[in-house]
Amino acid sequence: MNMKFFSRAFFKAIALVNKISYRFFRLIGLGYFYWLIQTFFKLRFKIKALYKGTEKNRKEKYNLYNFRRNIHRLEKGLSYATLKPVFAEDYIGETVNYLVEGEKSKAFDKGSIGWGKSVLNEYFSKVNHTNTITRAFESFEGTTRNNGFPKNEIPYDEALRPSSDITYEQLMELSIRRRSVRHYKDVKVDEDVIKKAYEIAKLSPSACNRQSFHYYFYNEQKVVDKLSQVPGGVAGYQIPAVVVMVGNYNGYFDERDINAPIIDASLSAMSFLYALETLGLASVCINWPNLPDREKKIRKILDLKEHEFVIMMIGLGYPEATGKIPYSQKRPADEVVKVNAILK
Ligand SMILES: Cc1cc2nc3c(=O)[nH]c(=O)nc-3n(C[C@H](O)[C@H](O)[C@H](O)COP(=O)(O)O)c2cc1C
């Protein structure tokens, strides 16, 4: 009881000193500087993850995400209406090297290797073989080409894009059905259903098709309780399973991409939530506050690498029939969609 009182008083005193200091610095014209230091202090785990991730990326002999980015660039080159007889000379050697090293070290997943080989094979069959391209081709031929790979994971004609009978009204129905649900049945969520939902989530767009993030799934109640309490925001309800969405800055060589894994993971999350609904489950996103104490806690529990960071959590389960759902009114198109807004 006393401990609680003293710790509360201690943190209140710190908050007061902070407030007074901020006012003082603003008074002498250094408010922004003070805010910058404070903000850096709060965000230091994410900033460090960015630093460590990009540094590791630039140093590595092979990197899955750089490889996937380069294969994506090749696919774009191969998709031009008029194919350039020579392109990608500046990165084709590096790409084949990544493939050779990644395959040798068994660090790349089968799917990425198969797609990579398929596209490289198409590339080498279409471009003129300059000296640089010939060197890369020999390396590709000599080491990996004959190990077998899918032949059809290459750019295809619009006419071959599968059609879809899903109507606007059907998508609207699913969107109305999906709401943040906070009351669940006491039923265990199986990992198979999560993997099935991910099969839809993985089809979301991602910057250069890297997908530099992971879904950490937990369905043991004790662990779920421990995890879901870390961010706060779920007081008063029981969640049977949780996905922690973890971003990975090792997929990027430049700090400009600070948002990329967050955007990519979030886009996939929306498809994931819809997929869950079609499988009879419901979900609730759980905010991730960038507060140092939470960061320390979650890093320890999940044993995150220095270049990884939490984006958000998703609580999920089978909805309880007697639970209540907040209405959550949405803002109208006339207010949110700015049409041909004036440019200055
Ligand atoms: C990034 C994010 C963080 C959220 N964090 C929480 C949270 O911590 N606790 C909670 O109960 N709901 C949380 N939500 C759910 C929102 O409250 C909910 O999406 C919003 O009110 C709209 O309701 P709807 O999802 O039913 O459309 C979060 C949603 C998002 C997208």
- Is a pLDDT exceeding 70 seen at residue 146? no
Q: What is the pLDDT of residues 186-241, one digit of tens each?
A: 999 999 999 999 999 999 999 999 999 999 999 999 999 999 999 988 888 889 99
CA of 115 to the centre of ligand 1 (A): 36
Indicate which residue's Cα is closest to atom 30 of ligand 1.
285
Q: Using CA atoms, how far apart are residues 118 and 127, in angstroms rounded to an integer?
A: 15
Q: Using CA atoms, how far apart are residues 167 and 224, in angstroms rounded to an integer?
A: 37
CA of 233 to the centre of ligand 1 (A): 9
Domain at 168-317: CATH code: 3.40.109.10
Q: Which of 286, 324, 325, 329 to mutate to test the pocket of ligand 1 (most atoms within 8 A of CB)?
A: 286
pLDDT at 344: 76
Confidence label for 5 from pLDDT (cuts 50, 70 and 90): confident
Q: Which atom of ligand 1 is nearest to the CA of 182?
A: 11
Q: Which atom of ligand 1 is nearest to the CA of 179?
A: 26
Q: Which of 181, 277, 285 to mutate to test the pocket of ligand 1 (most atoms within 8 A of CB)?
A: 285
Q: In the chain, what percentage of residues exceed pLDDT 90? A: 85
pLDDT at 6: 83
Tokens 């590096």 -> residue:
94
Report the chain's mean pLDDT, rounded to a whole number.
94
Q: Which atom of ligand 1 is nearest to the CA of 328?
A: 23
- Is a pLDDT exceeding 70 seen at residue 145? no
Q: Which of 268, 273, 284 to mutate to test the pocket of ligand 1 (most atoms within 8 A of CB)?
A: 284
Indicate which residue's Cα is closest to atom 7 of ligand 1.
286
For CA atoms 245, 246, 251, 254, the dihedral sign is: positive
pLDDT at 142: 79
- Is a pLDDT exceeding 70 seen at residue 324? yes
CA of 315 to the centre of ligand 1 (A): 10
Q: What is the pLDDT of residues 28-60, one digit of tens each?
A: 888 999 999 999 999 999 999 999 999 999 999
Mean pLDDT, rounded, for 274-284:
98
With beta carbons less than 8 A apart as the criterion, state whether 126 and 83 touch. yes
Q: Side chain identity at 52, as an amino acid letter? A: K
- The token duo for 152 is 């059809």
Indicate which residue's Cα is closest to atom 25 of ligand 1.
180
For residue 327, count other CB atoms closer than 10 A to its CB: 7
CA of 33 to the centre of ligand 1 (A): 33
Q: Interior CA angle at 332 toward 329 and 334, to 5°?
A: 165
